[in-house]
Amino acid sequence: MGAMLLASNPQWGLAADGKGFCVFGFEIYFYAVFIVVGMVAAAALSALLMKRRNLSPDLIFLLFIVCIPSAIIGARLFSCITDPNLGIQRFFDFRDGGLSIIGGVVAGVTAGLVVCVVKKVNFLRAADCVVINILFAQALGRWGNFFNAEVYGGVVTDPSMQWFPLAVPIAPGMSGIDSFGAANVTWHYAFFFYEMLANLVGWALLFSAAWYWKKKPNGVFTCAYFVWYGIVRTIMEPLRDPSYILGHKVPASLVMSILFIVLGVACIGLLLFLNYRKEGALIGSKKGDPCGITEYLSPNKDEQPYFSKINMFGANYPPKPSKEELKRLKEEKKAQRAAEKQAEEAEHAEEDGQTVTAEIPERTEPHEEAKLQTEEPQAAAQPVAEAVQQTETKQESPKKTAKPKQAGGKTAPSGTAKPKSKQSAAKTGQTNQRNKPPKKD
């Protein structure tokens, strides 16, 4: 059928192998289409659940940009390491097939953790809204395995059980669609379909629980995803056709699936234990707010939450303004930021100016420099001249001063006689009177 379509229109229609369709002669595989559709659907469901659980849906766009490429690289790397038919040297041969869901999950979740740390968003709250929707993407991606005629189980020998979707026909070198019309087909258990149903059931249970559950602790739904998917893969992996089991000697996917179960259960127990120590209860809180999603989280600090019927806490927020009001508020915030930026730049410029003034000496004009050069020697010579003048004055003054003469040619004693005190004068007068001879009558 594919060859017939290509004969009528070789640039368009189903590819010759029936595993894709052609656009301008370029084959696009159905496997890739289902993977991409699953990613987009998971992102949309995650944004819806974020809005429900009091988170900004804008966060999913950032996670989508970072986590999807990381998941593809991780899926390819894990497949190249564990698949004996590939090898790390064929890492860039994406069109030859080879993507491991387990490697993609590990790489994608790790990238999401880095984004949340950088944006300072609670990782467990964000992961509860995103990781569980990976099950939905995986369920759609399994239909890509159907078109590639892969991921099937053992042979179904009972003719009464050879019907789709219980079993799937496999013809060598043909796609899943073309195998239905082939003569030499072998019916196998349709493990891709079983895993698709199991993933859908798990997604429906976890999504419904996350839609209504709002109590602490956060992160339980993320851990529950790893437990659920680990159980599904642990059951399916040993029953697969051996050609689709990854691992050289040890089944790597089976080992990773068991690790998913163990780590998931252990992390749930740890979260409950930590919540009990902090809040006094395994679930909720006896000491404070029992809800784990009360705070509105957004990667944008200035984002204002508004009323929404979807949000479990939407009644706590004001109604969303009209488009004109939002535009006006946006312009006001923009103007305010510009004013704050200008004030900050002016403050920095003023500080820089003061620093430059303190460090750089004041510039003088040429004529002022000449005047300073003339005045500086004169100012330096003036103290020396004053010192010389004082020395000459001392040399010219007589060493001894002549004593003045009294009347009668006697020389007055040097110095100035100190005046006697009143008591000394009185004693002197009494002595003179005693020594004076008495008068004769």
Interatomic CA distance for residues 347 and 45, integer angstroms: 48
Query: What is the pLDDT at residue 26?
Result: 82
List, run by run, the mean pLDDT of 10-residue segments along the chain (441 residues). 41 76 84 92 96 94 93 89 78 77 92 94 96 96 89 89 92 85 88 94 97 95 96 88 67 88 97 95 93 92 88 91 82 86 85 60 51 52 55 49 44 44 46 46 38
State how far Cα 64 lies from the chain centre.
15
Angle at 278 between CA 274 and CA 284, to 5 degrees: 85
pLDDT digits (tens, 9 = 90+) for 323-367: 888 788 888 888 888 888 888 888 888 777 765 555 555 554 555
DSSP lists the bridge partners of residue 215 as 291
What is the Rg, in whole angstroms, of the alpha carbon atoms belonging to the chain? 50
**Contact (Cβ atoms closer than 8 angstroms) between residue 316 and residue 295:** no
Query: What is the pLDDT at residue 209?
Result: 97
Query: What is the pLDDT at residue 232?
Result: 94
Whole-model pTM?
A: 0.71
Pairing of the two strands 20-23 and 26-29: antiparallel
Query: What is the pLDDT at residue 389?
Result: 61
Interatomic CA distance for residues 389 and 40, integer angstroms: 103
Query: What is the pLDDT at residue 66?
Result: 94
Closest CA to 175 of 19, 32, 359, 385: 19
Any idea where the domains of the chain sit in the sequence? 2-303, 305-344
Query: What is the pLDDT at residue 392?
Result: 53
Query: What is the pLDDT at residue 393?
Result: 54
